[in-house]
């Protein structure tokens, strides 16, 4: 048991070059925990507010003025630290102090506690558990708000080495598909510049269907069968297409519009044709019934809520009642504090809703989410394939493979 002796913060930049906050929590004057908050581009309506009035400086001022409230708390007392944050901000979405601050303070504290206990972070987050590796799920082709005009409306096409038996082979297989896709794209378009989106996926000038075709082609070129050695996933991020006034999904780049019913067919056709293992936000963030229709149709695909659920346990409880999804994204900064996110994970696990712990498109080079994915028994870890801030999370998994507490891959 060690007590927090100091808490400090600073303004840094995330992978998109936007300002963010980093927090240092020290226990007993020597065990340093450090966490830097990420941020999203496709942000759910109901997720925690990143910074008060959009200003990281506000969050920094708040922690500087209130640091004494944290000093003397046990660094491992996640609930106590969470409650202290809530005493500064009793809003439901951290609009006063910023969800980014709640994220950074709670993760830095637990990292400090882990160092003091000489235990890895995943173990201190979930003591006396059995652990498995989540399957890395990585963006190989990006569009939507993560890439520029001319790219697909669909935000992400993802790869997952579902046939891999080890974490090493799962990472290597994802990398090989990402590399092969570059060759396929260069053949397809001799003017392809090798440009990449925010999460490291290629960002070609292609419409949705063609983008899916080339992604499947890259897998086949390597001798893989979709649904066997590897599987594709899609984050439709449909809220970015949803036009409230028209009550339609507007696919600007491809030049068509879908009614609610047509969107269900559009997503269903893609899930079927490409045997998707993972389909995220196939409809917009308030279409719980439409999601339920897709979930009922595809019991073997992870029909996943991200913007729909925003790592919020009350929204998840509603979705469970409506059978809206069989899987959920866990993004700590959507919830706010790590305590909130772990409470959310409990509800998901108790109800057989599969968890996918995820990065944000604007990331830091931290790698605590690899531990959070393991500790929450996530089936997948959505962290990208390439790019320094993405590789950092994958490399941490490789380091953790030296640990004999983690045995084998998750069952998906
Ligand atoms: C998503 C994420 C991460 P963002 O929509 O799932 O891939 O993107 O961080 O921009 O919300
Ligand atoms: Mg998403």
306 lines ligand 1 (CB under 6 A): yes
Q: Are 45 and 155 within one domain?
A: no
The CATH number of residue 167's host domain is 3.20.20.120
Q: Is 124 inside a domain boundary?
A: no
Helices (H) and strands (E) in the chain, counts: 13, 16
Q: Name the token pair of 144.
A: 């939507």
Q: Are 159 and 186 within one domain?
A: yes
Number of domains in the chain: 2
Cβ-contact 75, 23 below 8 angstroms:
no
Kindly report the length of the chain: 412
Q: Are 308 and 220 within one domain?
A: yes
The pLDDT, as a whole number, for residue 145 is 96
Residue that is last in its domain, among 118, 145, 163: 118
The answer on pLDDT for 367 being more than 90 is yes
Q: Is 294 inside a domain boundary?
A: yes
Please state, in angstroms and rounded to a whole number, the distance separating the CA atoms of residues 281 and 154.
11
Q: Are 307 and 180 within one domain?
A: yes
Q: Are 89 and 193 within one domain?
A: no
Cβ-contact 291, 324 below 8 angstroms:
yes
Q: Is 126 inside a domain boundary?
A: no
Q: Is 123 inside a domain boundary?
A: no
Q: Are 324 and 387 within one domain?
A: yes
Residue that is last in its domain, among 87, 118, 149: 118
Q: For the segment 223-257, what is each residue's pLDDT rounded down to a tens digit?
A: 999 999 999 999 999 999 999 999 999 999 999 99
The answer on pLDDT for 74 being more than 90 is yes
Q: Is 26 inside a domain boundary?
A: yes
The pLDDT, as a whole number, for residue 1 is 79
**Rg, the chain, Cα only:** 21
Tell me the mean pLDDT in the region 79-88.
98
Tell me the mean pLDDT in the region 13-20.
98
Please state, in angstroms and rounded to a whole number, the distance separating the CA atoms of residues 341 and 408.
24
Please state, in angstroms and rounded to a whole number, the distance separating the CA atoms of residues 283 and 264.
7
Query: What is the distance of C-alpha 138 from the center of its chain?
Result: 10
Q: Is 125 inside a domain boundary?
A: no
Q: What H or E segment, with its residue span, contains residue 218?
A: helix 208-221
Which ligand places an atom closest to the C-alpha of 201?
A: 1
Please state, in angstroms and rounded to a whole number, the distance separating the CA atoms of residues 263 and 208.
14
Q: Which of 16, 40, 141, 156 to mutate to test the pocket of ligand 1 (most atoms within 8 A of CB)?
A: 40
Q: Which of 361, 381, 387 to mutate to test the pocket of ligand 1 (most atoms within 8 A of CB)?
A: 361
The pLDDT, as a whole number, for residue 102 is 98
171 lines ligand 1 (CB under 6 A): no
360 lines ligand 1 (CB under 6 A): yes
Q: Are 141 and 114 within one domain?
A: no
Q: Average model confidence (pLDDT) for the chain?
A: 98
Please state, in angstroms and rounded to a whole number, the distance separating the CA atoms of residues 103 and 333.
6
Residue that is last in its domain, among 91, 118, 145: 118
The answer on pLDDT for 219 being more than 90 is yes
Q: Are 259 and 155 within one domain?
A: yes
Which residues have CB atoms below 5 A from the ion given as ligand 2? 235, 280, 306
The CATH number of residue 8's host domain is 3.30.390.10
Instruction: Report the percent of the chain where pLDDT is more than 70.
Output: 100
Q: Are 323 and 390 within one domain?
A: yes
User: Residues with catalytic annotation?
Assistant: 199, 331
Tell me the mean pLDDT in the region 99-114.
98
Q: Are 234 and 267 within one domain?
A: yes
Q: Are 109 and 183 within one domain?
A: no
Domain that holds residue 35: 4-118
Q: For the segment 294-319, what is each residue's pLDDT rounded down to a tens digit?
A: 999 999 999 999 999 999 999 999 99
Cβ-contact 160, 380 below 8 angstroms:
yes
Residue 294 main-chain phi, psi, to 5 deg? -70, -40
162 lines ligand 1 (CB under 6 A): no
Tell me the mean pLDDT in the region 76-84.
98
Please state, in angstroms and rounded to a whole number, the distance separating the CA atoms of residues 16 and 215.
25
Q: Is 288 inside a domain boundary?
A: yes
Q: For the segment 61-71, what is each residue's pLDDT rounded down to a tens digit?
A: 999 999 999 99
């Amino acid at each position: 048991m060690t007590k927090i002796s100091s808490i400090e913060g600073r303004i840094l930049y995330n992978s998109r070059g936007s300002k963010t906050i980093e927090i240092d929590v020290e226990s007993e004057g020597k065990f340093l925990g450090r966490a830097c908050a990420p941020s999203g581009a496709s942000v759910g309506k109901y997720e925690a507010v990143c910074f008060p009035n959009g200003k990281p400086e506000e969050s920094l001022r708040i922690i500087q003025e209130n640091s004494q409230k944290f000093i003397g708390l046990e660094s491992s007392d996640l609930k106590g630290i969470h409650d202290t944050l809530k005493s500064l901000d009793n809003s439901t979405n951290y609009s006063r102090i910023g969800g980014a601050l709640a994220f950074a303070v709670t993760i830095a504290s637990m990292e400090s506690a882990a160092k003091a206990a000489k235990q890895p972070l995943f173990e201190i987050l979930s003591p006396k558990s059995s652990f498995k590796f989540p399957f890395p799920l990585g963006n190989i082709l990006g569009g939507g708000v993560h890439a520029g005009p001319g790219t697909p409306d669909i935000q992400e096409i993802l790869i997952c080495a579902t046939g891999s038996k080890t974490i090493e082979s799962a990472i290597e297989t994802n990398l090989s598909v990402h590399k092969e896709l570059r060759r396929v794209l260069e053949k397809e378009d001799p003017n392809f510049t090798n440009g990449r989106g925010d999460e490291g996926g290629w960002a070609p000038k292609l419409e949705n269907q063609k983008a899916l075709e080339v992604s499947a082609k890259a897998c086949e070129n390597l001798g893989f069968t979709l649904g066997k050695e590897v599987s594709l996933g899609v984050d439709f991020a449909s809220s970015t297409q949803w036009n409230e006034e028209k009550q339609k999904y507007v696919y600007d780049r491809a030049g068509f519009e879908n009614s609610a019913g047509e969107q269900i067919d559009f997503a269903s056709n893609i899930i079927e044709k490409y045997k998707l293992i993972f389909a995220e936000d196939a409809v917009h963030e308030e279409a719980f019934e439409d999601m339920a229709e897709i979930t009922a149709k595809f019991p073997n695909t992870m029909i996943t809520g991200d913007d729909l659920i925003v790592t919020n346990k009350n929204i998840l409880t509603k979705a469970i009642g409506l059978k809206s999804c069989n899987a959920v994204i866990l993004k700590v900064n959507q919830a706010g504090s790590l305590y909130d996110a772990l409470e959310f994970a409990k509800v998901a696990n108790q109800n057989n809703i599969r968890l996918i712990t995820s990065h944000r498109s604007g990331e830091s080079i931290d790698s605590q989410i690899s531990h959070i994915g393991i500790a929450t028994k996530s089936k997948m870890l959505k962290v990208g394939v390439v790019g320094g801030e993405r590789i950092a999370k994958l490399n941490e998994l490789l380091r953790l493979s030296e640990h004999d507490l983690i045995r084998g891959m998750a069952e998906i």
